[in-house]
């Protein structure tokens, strides 16, 4: 169960970082950090299962 909470926490942090980076730059394209965070978020979503993937 603790692993699930760890994944949720990491996903929340990744999403928050991605949003804050996108807002501060006006666009997520062309930014290595945003791209990295997007990839991490996607990987975490895959780990959580298909029901979490949009």
What pLDDT does 20 receive? 73
Asked whether the predicted pLDDT for residue 53 surpasses 50, the reply is no
Q: At 22, is the pLDDT very low, low, confident or very high (cuts 50, 70, 90)?
A: low
- 22 versus 26: the higher-pLDDT residue is 22
Residue 7 tokens read as: 């994944």
**Whole-angstrom distance, CA of residue 6 vs CA of residue 42:** 16
Confidence grade of residue 2 (pLDDT, cut at 50, 70, 90) = confident
Please give the mean pLDDT across all residues of the chain: 70
pLDDT digits (tens, 9 = 90+) for 33-48: 666 677 777 777 776 6
């Amino acid at each position: 169960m603790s692993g699930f909470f760890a994944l949720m926490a990491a996903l929340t942090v990744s999403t928050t970082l991605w949003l804050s980076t996108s807002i501060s730059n006006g666009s997520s394209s062309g930014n290595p950090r945003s791209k990295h965070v997007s990839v991490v978020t996607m990987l975490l979503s895959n780990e959580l299962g298909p029901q979490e993937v949009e």
